[in-house]
Amino acid sequence: MKLILIALMSLCLLGGCMRTTYSPYDGGAEKPQALDRQVRFDVRDRFYRDPPRCLTILSVQGAGPTGFKEQVARAAARHFSGKVDRVIGPFERQRLTRRLAFDLSHPGDRLRYASRTRCRHFVEPTVDTVEESFALIWAGRNIGLSLTLTGVERKDILWRGFHQTTRGDGGLPISPLALGGAMIRAARARGDTDQVPSMIDDVLRRMLKTVPDVRGL
């Protein structure tokens, strides 16, 4: 039954019934479901009082393998570069913190880092969900990410967002021919190495639509 429901959800997706909606970050106790394609976000007044000119992408928190987290950090740096004048991505951040001997999880080091680099804002990505399922006639992935933009103090939140996306392929085994086609599509989806980077980009692109563009201000 679960596989049938998942397959029907996929057909609904392919039929174009999904739409992206935007709602307050604290709008409810439950996180968005797969078919909602809902982005939750919060832009604080502090953002407009102190718009970020430069921001640093911090280490990715939460679940997930190291390689996946590295993809999230690089993608976050790329997407934020379209919103602010300068972004210090994961590789440059690692080089700077090693050279300066700073630990950005320490408030004092964050303050000294901000003074040395003239980069006073930070983005902390968090992996909320990273799941993969495979059941012979169905393969699916689910990725959920949170981003928080702060000042030097972690409590000084300027913006935050959450979004998750789901992709899958397969079908209903209503005949031997349909069974074979579903197995092929499921295997193809499971082996698609471009799917995860594409899903990460989708999540970040939708979330960052809610971030004001402050380049050149």
List, for residues 102-114, the tens digit of each pLDDT value.
Answer: 999 999 999 999 9
More confident residue, 208 or 130: 208
Write out the two tokens for 192: 């698609």
Is the predicted pLDDT of residue 145 greater than 70, yes or no? yes
List, for residues 70-95, the tens digit of each pLDDT value.
Answer: 999 999 999 999 999 999 999 999 99
Model confidence band, residue 37 (pLDDT cutoffs 50, 70, 90): confident
List, for residues 120-132, the tens digit of each pLDDT value.
Answer: 999 999 999 887 7
- Helix H or strand E segment including 5: helix 2-14
Segment 63-69 mean pLDDT: 90
Mean residue pLDDT across the chain: 81
Of 199, 202, 72, 187, which is closest to residue 139 (Cα–Cα)?
187
pLDDT of amino acid 166: 78
Going by C-beta distance under 8 Å and a sequence separation of 6 or more, which residues neighbour residue 46?
A: 151, 156, 157, 158
Paired residues of 191 in beta bridges: none
